[in-house]
Structure formats: structure tokens, C-alpha cells
Amino acid sequence: MVANSAVVFGTSVFDGIALTDLQTRATIRLFALGEGFFLRLVSVKGQAMMNFLRQSGASGKKQRFLLFAWYFALLIVAVSLACRPKAPAEGDANAPEPDAAQAPVDSVVVTINGADIMQSSVDELVQAQFQRMAARTSQLPPAFAEQLKSQLRQQTLDRLIVERLLDGQADKSGIEISDERVTEKLTEMAAQQKPPLSLEDLKARIEGSGRDFEELRHEIRKGLRYEQLFQAEWAGKIDITDDQVSKYYSENPKEFETPEQIRASHILIKPDPNTDPNEAKATAKAKAQDLLKQIKDGADFAELAKAHSGCTSSANGGDLGFFGRGQMVPPFEQAAFELQPGQISDVVETEVGYHIVKVAERKDSSVVPLEQAKDGILEKLRDRKKGEIAEAYVKSLKEAASIVYPPGQESTPNVPALPNPDGGS
């Protein structure tokens, strides 16, 4: 439903946090189509996600990452930035001598306002994305894999062009994002997870998946910078009327059907990451079992959560608020939805640690009335307008820029959509 839905910013960097916990998610696919771009939300079932694209999921309002629908800011952070080795400084005596026989020949793929984008820059990003897809692409026929890489290469090139153009405009406007603002945004993102994470937990999860936390900070900074750039374009152009809201409500009844929800609390005991993994898990499980025994003997669940839970929800006695199916990892969800109000689960193991779950309330499925859904519809329609305005702005930048391709290497304007290995369209 619109009232409780949002585009949730996330990436394959976020392995292990709520984005990968969703059973039904929407993958934001952003394709460069020559003169413009479009966002396409595709429902995806199951735990496997397309790691070559940034990921998002439909979640409850509390799960919103407050990065709203950055239609074109998400374009830039959608590019999976590779961890690039620092180039040796000019004249560095320790720099390795190039091997003329083996060194690949680099070439210019496009020149934007006199500045070149090299083939090596494109290949580096494409290869990084393709490597993250390794588990999926290894099962593809070679011809299909090569076609996929070719499409990724074209999309990546067009994204790099737009990055250059937007960076140039942001530089002219003097837009700078402070470290404090980036940290604030990351903290908001972490807190909106279910269960909520601290910034330290978010960093540990990202680095545990083999990603670079500083890379994520760079992407967030860039997205905030572009958002600020677009604010001037959006001013006075994103007003929505009541008639437009009513029309959307009547034409999209399925969006306003609220599924069954429960309100639950939990106590999370996380294994100590600084000890032997097997020993740490055994210790954490034993502690969770001891706490469960105390609860069964009459101890107060909320007080134990405040004292022992490793989740940021501990400050609220472990209260996670209301959530529906598909918003938690499967073991947690299964245990929670089997409980009736007042009941407490056994110890539940997930990738995060060991949980004790208590259900407080249940809500049956229902239809959200227009007045209740209005704010969410307004937000969605405004986001749609923002995307259209941003698309037109990017198009104007491209038309005004000098974009020169080498002979015979002009950009292909109509790049076909990538096939979806998960079976979606």
C-alpha cells in the first residue's frame, strides 16, 4: 500500500541487512536510454537477488531509509564502484615499470566537454559488477553472459557520462556535503532496518560482506549532492492536486490492501565477533536460552531486552512495531507469525544471532481508506514528478554538452532491458 511503502535505498553492499532479508522485494533497475533514463521496479521472489544492480525493497513506513525516491540520485549510486588501487604519483620511484609487451592498450570511449572517459574506467566498473554476479553468471551460456556484459558496459558508460555532467553542475553550484551529514544519513538508514541496526552494526555487516564502508560513504555523499542539485529544479513544480490523489487511489485498489501484520518485540543475542565463531555461537545461544528460562519463570521481557539485547530496539524494550510478511528473515518471520498475542517463541537462530520473540498484537488484512492513504499517494506522485523533471534536466545537460564518441563507437540509444535470471520481467 502506498501509505506504508517507499523506495528503500540499498545495494548489494548491504548483504545481510534488511534488504537481503525480504522475501518479496523490488529491484530498482535504472537503464540509460540515450536521451534519458527510467526507473523500473520489478518484484523479485526468493532470497537470491540480482547482485549486479542496486537493490531495494518495499517495506513499512518505519523502514524507509529517508533517501526517498532519488530517481536520478539513485542512478549514480546504482553504479557499483570498484575498489580502485591508488595510482602511483608522477615520478614515484617505487612505481612499477610498465611492460610494453603485456600492457593493454587503453582508448578513449567518449569525450565530454573536452574531458576523456577511458575504456579502462568503464571496464573496471563492469568487471566489478560482473564478478559480484559470478555465482549467477557461471551458470549462463557463454553467449548470454557476453550479451549481458555488453549491455552492462553500455549502461555503465552512459551513467559515467551523466556523473560527469552532474558533477560539473554541482561544482559550479558550490555544493558540498559534510562528513556529519553523511554520517547522519547512514545512521538513519541503519535505524530504519528491521530489526534496527546501530551505525557500528551496519558498518560491520557491510565490511563482513567484503565491501568497503568508505565506498558506501562516498556513494551516499554523491547521492545527497545530486539531491541538493535537483532541489532547485523541483522548486514550485511538484505540487499535486486532490483530484490527482483521488484518481490514483481509485485506479490502484490493490496498493491499499493492507496484509496481515503483527507487532512484536525481541531480544537479540549476537555472537562475539572477536572470538572463535563456533565458540561465540555456542555462548550466545546458551545466553539466549538462559534468558528464555528467566522469562518463563516470570522475568519481565522488556526489562531483559533493555539489559541484554544487542539490537537498537532494546531502548524500547525490544519493540519492533508492526510488520508484515516478507519484512524479516524467514526464520524470524516464521516464528513470529506462529505466535498469538502474549506468546513467546523458543530461541530462534538467524544470520544476526539468537532471538527470543514476543508478539503483542495482530492486525487482520484490511483496506486503507483514502484519507489515511493520502499522504503516501502525495509522496509517490511527487516522487514521480521529481523523476520526470530530473530526466528532463539531465537531457538538457546532455544536449548542451559536447559529447564526442570515436568514429564507429557512437552510443547505442536503445539498450534493451537486461534479462532477469529470477524470472521477473
- List pLDDT tens digits, range 366-375: 999 999 999 9
> Of 400 and 105, which is predicted with more confidence?
400
CA distance 293 to 413: 64
Q: Is 372 exposed, middle or buried (0-12, 13-18, 19+ CB in 10 A)?
A: middle
Give the model's pLDDT for residue 146. Answer: 84
Give the model's pLDDT for residue 132. Answer: 73
| Domain map (residue ranges) of the chain | 2-84+154-248+371-404, 260-364
Give the model's pLDDT for residue 149. Answer: 83
Tell me the three cell numbers of residue 263: 507487532
* Local confidence band at 58 (pLDDT 50, 70, 90 cut-offs): very low
Tell me the three cell numbers of residue 35: 536521451
Give the model's pLDDT for residue 411. Answer: 59
Domain 260-364 has CATH 3.30.1490.190: no
What mean pLDDT comes out for the span 81-110?
A: 50
For the segment 137-159, what is each residue's pLDDT rounded down to a tens digit? 677 788 888 888 888 888 899 88
Q: Identify the H or E element spanning 26.
A: strand 24-33
Backbone phi, psi, residue 42, to 5°: -120, 125
Q: Which range among 287-301, 354-368, 372-386, 399-413 shows the weakest confidence by mean pLDDT?
A: 399-413
Distances (CA, A) of 102 to 98, 108, 254, 335, 359: 8, 19, 59, 58, 64
* Local confidence band at 9 (pLDDT 50, 70, 90 cut-offs): very low
Q: Does the pLDDT of residue 386 top 50, yes or no?
A: yes
For the segment 154-206, what is each residue's pLDDT rounded down to a tens digit? 889 988 999 999 999 999 999 999 999 999 999 999 998 877 889 999 999 88
What mean pLDDT comes out for the span 53-57?
A: 29
Give the model's pLDDT for residue 104. Answer: 62
* Closest to 12 measured CA to CA, from 195, 178, 193, 211: 211
Give the model's pLDDT for residue 209. Answer: 78
Q: Does the pLDDT of residue 89 top 50, yes or no?
A: no
For the segment 245-272, what is each residue's pLDDT rounded down to a tens digit? 999 999 999 999 989 999 999 999 999 9
Span 2-84+154-248+371-404 CATH architecture: Orthogonal Bundle (1.10)
For 37-66, b where at least 16 C-beta lie within 10 A, e where not — what string? bebeebebeeeebbbbbbbbbbbbebbbbe
Give the model's pLDDT for residue 366. Answer: 93
pTM for this model (two decimals) = 0.53
What mean pLDDT comes out for the span 25-29?
A: 25
End-to-end CA distance of the chain: 21
> Of 135 and 152, which is predicted with more confidence?
152
Backbone phi, psi, residue 361, to 5°: -145, 160
What mean pLDDT comes out for the span 272-299?
A: 96
